[in-house]
Amino acid sequence: MEFAPEMLEYANLISSKGLTGFTQGSIQERRDGYSAIGELLGEGPLMREVQDIFIPSKDGNVFIKNYIPKSEPKSKILYFHGGGWVVGRLKDFDPFARKLAEITSSIVSLVDYRLAPEFPFPLPLEDAYSSLEWISSQNQNLWKGLPLVVAGDSAGGNLAASTILRAKETSGPKIDLQILIYPVTEAICDTDSYKEFELGPGLTKKDMEWFIDQYLPDPITRSNAKASPLYQTDWKDLPPAIVFIADIDPLRDDGKLYAEKLKEAGVSVLFKEFKGYTHGFFTKVNLLKAPEVGLKMISEEMDRVFKRKEVLH
């Protein structure tokens, strides 16, 4: 196991500041600890406009922040942030959302889905699907005719994958591309990478089990495909995918196995394993260079996928 030099520098920075992230304390302390790391990221690029909106969801409302880039938008991206369904505030992902919008020339809609344990499964998923229905209906002015991308990292990648599955099963909104960044695709935690990185570095198996206990308090739900999309049986006709994973990560195999299933079903997949990186690296823009490399790859693949769709139509 060899760290990328910048990953090691980042880990040393976090350690030198005495930041513990989400690994200990009460729910509130874990949320605050996670946000304290987010504060190190600085600011993202300036946007043409940032809009705050509320949309209705089951038994409540969902807050969404729309980041509109200065360039002419070429797609709309519905983005679900990571944080184990428990931690993570929109401000923690603001620099990343801005960078994603700028590099891909896309309107990025960052979803403030409700968090566990106050709102366990399936409520965050309901929020995710309500957000999908909302963004699918946005076709006025700048939004007109834009391809739809559904994306997320970690637990957000889990919500993205499950939302895409539901859209297919219910003949819901048409999704043109999915982007899954080290997604949680099964809630049983028994893959080889969970054994290899049980104690970290970074995210541990114990951390993941704690998050899963908050989001899926009933163990019976954990093998349900809505909670563990890797267990779905029908892989056909899913949108083209970009799947990125970190190689020093208990969730490494979650993403790897998911990408393999998609490929076996004939789905086009751009897959990349970032060597020397731990879980959570991709949203640490400004502190790490690897996210920018990945975002440029995403932008190029989006161009390729959308051009191909134009040709087919």
Give CA–CA dist 244/183, Å, rounded. Answer: 9
Alpha helices in 64-177 (DSSP H): 94-104, 123-136, 155-169
Alpha helices in 77-231 (DSSP H): 94-104, 123-136, 155-169, 192-196, 205-215
Residue 240 is which amino acid? Answer: P
- Between CA 207 and CA 212, with CA 210 as vertex, the angle to 5 degrees is 110
Sheet holding 177-181, edge to edge: 49-57, 60-68, 106-112, 75-80, 148-153, 177-181, 241-248, 269-278
Find out whether 205 and 186 touch, Cβ atoms under 8 Å.
no
Find out whether 230 and 256 touch, Cβ atoms under 8 Å.
no
Catalytic annotation on 137? Answer: no
- Between CA 219 and CA 223, with CA 220 as vertex, the angle to 5 degrees is 95
Give CA–CA dist 291/201, Å, rounded. Answer: 19
Catalytic residue among 154, 162, 193, 228: 154
Q: Hey, how many other C-beta atoms are within 10 angstroms of the C-beta on 140?
A: 7
Residue 4, CA atoms < 13 Å, CB-side half-sphere: 18
Residues identified as active-site: 154
